[in-house]
């Protein structure tokens, strides 16, 4: 029975780890979406700058409605997505700061869909100087690093579980009293472990 308990313990760990991986995978996808949005914001800014230079008087869009019209004229998005909206379906927020020198800010409200919060993506242009508050490459690199650290923690926990000699989980000689409910749960965990091992 001890071998079965070891298998259940490792199985329970894998079930827990796979649930954690689901959360990490979602987190990684969320950060990838932010990274892509930051890249698209820089592209939008570049296209808007080219459009502004091409105008007779080199004036940027005057206000939000003018910005939206210009975006629809000069940009396209895959799948027919509205080019005036970010990856979360929220409209970009445009502010013309000055005409001479040309200066503006374009913001995406970010995943929380609220302007003025920590996850906003903001590109600021002043003539030919462009800054973005969150670099697209740094966003995805940070997410990958978090996944790598989580993987290391899971492997450490598994190594400790396998090396442990304490407790009834690894005591092959210990008598285990199984109630029908405990036995059913044990069988379900064994089945789940077999499925996980077969999938890997």
Six token digits for residue 142: 């940070």
Q: Is the pTM of this model over 0.85?
A: no
- What CATH topology corresponds to 39-135? Glycoprotein, Type 4 Pilin (3.30.700)
129 beta partners = 126
Confidence (pLDDT) at 171: 44
Query: Residues 111-161: pLDDT tens digits?
Result: 999 999 999 999 999 998 999 998 888 887 877 787 777 767 766 666 666
Sheet holding 103-108, edge to edge: 93-98, 103-108, 121-126, 129-132
For residue 52, which of 65, 61, 44 has the smallest C-alpha distance?
Answer: 61
Q: Residue 94 above 60 pLDDT?
A: yes
Domain ranges of the chain: 2-26+139-199, 39-135
CA 72 to chain centre: 28
Instruction: Give the C-alpha separation, 126 to 98, whole Å.
Output: 9
């Amino acid at each position: 029975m001890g071998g079965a308990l070891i298998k259940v313990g490792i199985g329970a760990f894998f079930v827990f780890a796979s649930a954690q991986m689901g959360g990490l995978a979602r987190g990684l996808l969320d950060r990838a979406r932010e990274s892509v949005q930051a890249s698209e914001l820089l592209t939008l800014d570049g296209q808007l700058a080219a459009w502004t230079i091409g105008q007779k008087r080199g004036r940027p869009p005057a206000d939000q409605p003018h910005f939206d019209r210009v975006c629809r004229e000069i940009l396209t998005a895959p799948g027919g997505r509205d080019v005036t909206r970010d990856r979360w379906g929220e409209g970009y927020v445009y502010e013309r700061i000055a005409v001479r020198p040309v200066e503006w800010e374009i913001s995406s409200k970010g995943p929380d869909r609220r302007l003025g919060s920590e996850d906003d993506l903001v590109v600021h242009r002043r003539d030919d100087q462009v800054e973005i508050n969150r670099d697209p490459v740094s966003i995805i690199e940070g997410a990958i690093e978090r996944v790598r650290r989580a993987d290391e923690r899971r492997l450490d926990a598994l190594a400790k579980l396998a090396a442990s000699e304490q407790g009834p989980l690894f005591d092959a000689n210990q008598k285990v009293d199984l109630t029908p409910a405990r036995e059913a749960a044990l069988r379900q965990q064994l089945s789940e472990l077999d499925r996980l091992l077969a999938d890997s």
